[in-house]
C-alpha cells in the first residue's frame, strides 16, 4: 500500500474541503485504506494544522450575518425607524401645545414735564422694575379632519418604508447567494483542477519512466510538462478568482474582507414550482407591486387632507398670567401686581382662497390616476418578468440534466482512455484530450448546478417568494 500517496490525498481533502472532515469521515478513510496507527496520528496532526482553522460559513449563518451587518440593510432599517418616529402621536398635532413665558425689566430714566399752564416738573433717576410670568395652553378641536388624515398618511408611510426595507433585504439576499454560490462553484472547480493536476503529474512521471526505458520520445515528456503547467496556471487563476469571491462575499456580509471561510457546496432545489401559481402569487406578494398599492392608499388620504381646506378650524386656548411692577420713591405708586386666568375659543374659516384648495384636490386626483396606471404597468411588467425568469429556469434545468449526462459519458470515456493509455494502445495526446474533455464537462456541470439555483432564486424573487425560499 502506498501510504505516502494516500496521506497526500487525505491532506488535500482537508486543506481544500475542511467542511467535509468529520470524525466519521476520518474513521471511514482510515478503515477503508487500512492505515496504520502511526499514520493515523500524523494525519490527525496535519488536520489540526491545516484548513480546519477556516470558518464553515453555512447558508443560514450567511443570511443571519447579512441581516445584521449588511450596510444597505442597516440603512433601510434606520429609515424604517425614522418613519416609525414620524408616525408617532407626537408628530400628529393631536396633542395640545403648552408654553411658558417669564421676564424681568429694569428702567432708570429722567423725566421733564411741562404743563399747559406753564408749570413744569423734573425727576431725575426715576427707576422702576417689572416682572411677568405666564403659562398658556392651546388645542385645535377641529381642523376639517386634515389632522386625522395626515396621521393616517404617516402610518401608511411607515408601512411603505417597511416594504422598501423588504425590497432592499430581498435584493441583498439575492446578491448574497449569488456571491455565496460563486464561492461554492469556484471551490468545486478548484477541487476538480487539483484532481486533474494529479493526473497530469502521474502522466509526466509515466512519460519519464517510458523515456528511461526507451518506450517513448523526449517529445512526450515535453508535452506532458506543458499540459501540467497549463493545468497549474488554470489552478492559480481559480485560486485568484476564489480569493476575490471570498472578499466580495465578506463585503456583502459587512465584515472584514480578509476573514477566511469555507462554504457548503450542497444545493437544494425547490420542487414543484408551477408557473400559474407563481404569476398569481406575484400579484399578492411582489414587493414592488405592494409599494404601488400602498402609494395609492396614501394618495387617497392626501385628497382628503386637501379637501379639509374647505372646512372651518376650531380651537381653544387658556392661560394664567402674573405681572408685578415696582417703583422707586419718585412715583406716586410704590408697586402693583396682577394675576389671573383667561380662556377663549376661536373659529376660522377660509371661505374662499382663490381656488387654491380646489387646484390641490384636482392635482391629487390626477396623482392617483397616474399611480393606478403605474400599477397596471407594474402588473404587466411583473408577469412578463415571471414568464421570462421561468423560461430561464426551465432552460437551466435542461442544461443541468444534459451536462450531467455529458459528465457521465466523459467519465466512461476517460476511464477507458486511461486504461488504453497505460497499455500503450493510445498516445498521450489522445489521453490528454479525454482528460480535457472530462475537465470541461465537470466545469460545465458545476456551472450549470449553480446557474440553475440562481435562476430559481431570481424566479422566486420576482414572484415575491424569495424570503420563503429554501436556500
Tell me the CB-side half-sphere exposure of residue 12, using CA atoms within 13 A.
16
The percent of residues in the chain predicted with pLDDT above 70, rounded, is 88
pLDDT in tens, 435-458: 999 999 999 999 999 999 999 999
How far apart CA 104 and CA 213 sit, in angstroms, is: 116
Judged against a pLDDT cut of 90, whether residue 119 lies above it is answered with: no
DSSP 139: E
Q: Which of 237, 229, 220, 239 is nearest to 201 (CA)?
A: 229
Using the Cα atoms of residue 465, residue 466, residue 468 and residue 471 in order, give the sign of their dihedral. positive
| Residue 134: Cβ-neighbour burial (10 angstroms; 0-12, 13-18, 19+) | middle
pLDDT classification of 53: cutoffs 50, 70, 90: low
**Residue 10 to residues 18, 42, 44, 332, 355, Cα–Cα distance (Å):** 11, 11, 10, 111, 85
Q: Which of 247, 238, 266 is nearest to 443 (CA)?
A: 238
- Residues 228/193, Cβ–Cβ less than 8 Å: no
Partner residues linked to 106 by β-bridges: 129
DSSP 334-349: -EEEEEEEEEEEEEE-
Tell me the CB-side half-sphere exposure of residue 468, using CA atoms within 13 A.
9
How far apart CA 131 and CA 34 sit, in angstroms, is: 102
How far apart CA 120 and CA 55 sit, in angstroms, is: 101
Q: Which of 232, 223, 155, 174 is nearest to 198 (CA)?
A: 232
Does residue 23 sit in helix, strand or coil?
helix
How far apart CA 59 and CA 173 sit, in angstroms, is: 11
Please compute the mean of the pLDDT values over residues 386-390 and round it to a whole number.
97
Using the Cα atoms of residue 273, residue 276, residue 282 and residue 285 in order, give the sign of their dihedral. negative
Question: pTM of this prediction?
Answer: 0.81
pLDDT classification of 5: cutoffs 50, 70, 90: very low
Quick one: pLDDT at residue 3? 42
Name the residue with higher pLDDT: 109 or 205. Answer: 205
Exposure string of 319-347, with b = 16+ CB inside 10 Å and e = fewer, is beeeeebbbeeeeeeeeeeeeeeeeeeee
Quick one: pLDDT at residue 122? 77
pLDDT in tens, 342-367: 999 999 998 888 889 999 999 999 99
CB contact set of 207 (below 8 Å; sequence gap of 6+): 216, 220, 221, 223, 224, 428
Quick one: pLDDT at residue 47? 43
Rg (CA), the chain: 41
Using the Cα atoms of residue 12, residue 15, residue 17 and residue 19 in order, give the sign of their dihedral. positive
Question: What is the distance in angstroms between the CA of the first residue and the CA of the last residue of the chain?
Answer: 42
Lowest-pLDDT range of 325-329, 418-422, 439-443: 325-329
Quick one: pLDDT at residue 462? 95
Neighbours of 133 (CB within 10 A): 15
Judged against a pLDDT cut of 80, whether residue 9 lies above it is answered with: no
- Residues 83/165, Cβ–Cβ less than 8 Å: no
| Residue 153: Cβ-neighbour burial (10 angstroms; 0-12, 13-18, 19+) | buried
Judged against a pLDDT cut of 80, whether residue 46 lies above it is answered with: no
Quick one: pLDDT at residue 263? 95
Quick one: pLDDT at residue 350? 87
Neighbours of 65 (CB within 10 A): 18
Quick one: pLDDT at residue 22? 42
**Residue 461 to residues 167, 255, 431, 467, 468, Cα–Cα distance (Å):** 10, 25, 45, 8, 10
pLDDT in tens, 145-188: 989 999 999 999 999 999 999 999 999 999 999 999 999 999 99
Judged against a pLDDT cut of 90, whether residue 10 lies above it is answered with: no
Quick one: pLDDT at residue 216? 80
Query: Hey, where are the domains in the chain?
Result: 1-53, 55-86+150-298+362-468, 96-142+313-348
Does residue 325 sit in helix, strand or coil?
strand
pLDDT in tens, 241-255: 999 999 999 999 999
DSSP 68-101: HH-HHHHHHHHHHHHHHHHTSGGGTT-S-EEEEE
- Residues 336/130, Cβ–Cβ less than 8 Å: no
Sheet holding 120-142, edge to edge: 97-114, 120-142, 313-327, 335-348
CB contact set of 217 (below 8 Å; sequence gap of 6+): 211
Judged against a pLDDT cut of 80, whether residue 461 lies above it is answered with: yes
Quick one: pLDDT at residue 330? 67
Quick one: pLDDT at residue 332? 67
Name the residue with higher pLDDT: 128 or 187. Answer: 187
Please compute the mean of the pLDDT values over residues 322-326 and round it to a whole number.
86
Helices (H), 100-217: 146-212
pLDDT classification of 195: cutoffs 50, 70, 90: very high
> 55-86+150-298+362-468, superfamily in CATH?
Outer membrane efflux proteins (OEP) (1.20.1600.10)
Amino acid at each position: 500500500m502506498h501510504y505516502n500517496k494516500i496521506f497526500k490525498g487525505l491532506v488535500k481533502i482537508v486543506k481544500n474541503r475542511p467542511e467535509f472532515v468529520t470524525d466519521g469521515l476520518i474513521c471511514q478513510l482510515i478503515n477503508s485504506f487500512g492505515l496504520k496507527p502511526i499514520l493515523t496520528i500524523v494525519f490527525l496532526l496535519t488536520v489540526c494544522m491545516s484548513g480546519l482553522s477556516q470558518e464553515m460559513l453555512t447558508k443560514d449563518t450567511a443570511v443571519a450575518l447579512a441581516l445584521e451587518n449588511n450596510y444597505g440593510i442597516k440603512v433601510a432599517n434606520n429609515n424604517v425607524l425614522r418613519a416609525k418616529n414620524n408616525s408617532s402621536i407626537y408628530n400628529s398635532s393631536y396633542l395640545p401645545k403648552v408654553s411658558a413665558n417669564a421676564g424681568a425689566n429694569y428702567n432708570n430714566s429722567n423725566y421733564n414735564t411741562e404743563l399747559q399752564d406753564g408749570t413744569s416738573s423734573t425727576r431725575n433717576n426715576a427707576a422702576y422694575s417689572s416682572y411677568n410670568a405666564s403659562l398658556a395652553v392651546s388645542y385645535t378641536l377641529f381642523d376639517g379632519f386634515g389632522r386625522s388624515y395626515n396621521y393616517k398618511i404617516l402610518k401608511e408611510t411607515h408601512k411603505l418604508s417597511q416594504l422598501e426595507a423588504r425590497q432592499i433585504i430581498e435584493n441583498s439576499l439575492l446578491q448574497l447567494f449569488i456571491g455565496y454560490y460563486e464561492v461554492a462553484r469556484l471551490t468545486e472547480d478548484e477541487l476538480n483542477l487539483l484532481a486533474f493536476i494529479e493526473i497530469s503529474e502521474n502522466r509526466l512521471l509515466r512519460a519519464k519512466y517510458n523515456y528511461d526505458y526507451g518506450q517513448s520520445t523526449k517529445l512526450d515528456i515535453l508535452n506532458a510538462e506543458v499540459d501540467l503547467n497549463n493545468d497549474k496556471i488554470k489552478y492559480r487563476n481559480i485560486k485568484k478568482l476564489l480569493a476575490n469571491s471570498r472578499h466580495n462575499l465578506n463585503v456583502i456580509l459587512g465584515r472584514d474582507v480578509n476573514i477566511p471561510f469555507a462554504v457548503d457546496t450542497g444545493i437544494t432545489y425547490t420542487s414543484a414550482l408551477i408557473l400559474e401559481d407563481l404569476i398569481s402569487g406575484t400579484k399578492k406578494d411582489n414587493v414592488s407591486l405592494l409599494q404601488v398599492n400602498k402609494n395609492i392608499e396614501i394618495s387617497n388620504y392626501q385628497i382628503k387632507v386637501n379637501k379639509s381646506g374647505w372646512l372651518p378650524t376650531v380651537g381653544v386656548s387658556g392661560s394664567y398670567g402674573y405681572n408685578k411692577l415696582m417703583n422707586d420713591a419718585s412715583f406716586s405708586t410704590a408697586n402693583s401686581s396682577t394675576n389671573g386666568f383667561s380662556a377663549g375659543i376661536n373659529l376660522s374659516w377660509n371661505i374662499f382662497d382663490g381656488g387654491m384648495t380646489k387646484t390641490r384636490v384636482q392635482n391629487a386626483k390626477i396623482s392617483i390616476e397616474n399611480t393606478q396606471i403605474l400599477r397596471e404597468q407594474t402588473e404587466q411588467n411583473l408577469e412578463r418578468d415571471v414568464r421570462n425568469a421561468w423560461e430561464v429556469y426551465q432552460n437551466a434545468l435542461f442544461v443541468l440534466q444534459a451536462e450531467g449526462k455529458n459528465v457521465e459519458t466523459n467519465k466512461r470515456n476517460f476511464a477507458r482512455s486511461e486504461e488504453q493509455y497505460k497499455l500503450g494502445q493510445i498516445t498521450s495526446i489522445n489521453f490528454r484530450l479525454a482528460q480535457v474533455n472530462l475537465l470541461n464537462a465537470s466545469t460545465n456541470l458545476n456551472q450549470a448546478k449553480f446557474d440553475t439555483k440562481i435562476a430559481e432564486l431570481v424566479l422566486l424573487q420576482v414572484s415575491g417568494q424569495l424570503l420563503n425560499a429554501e436556500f
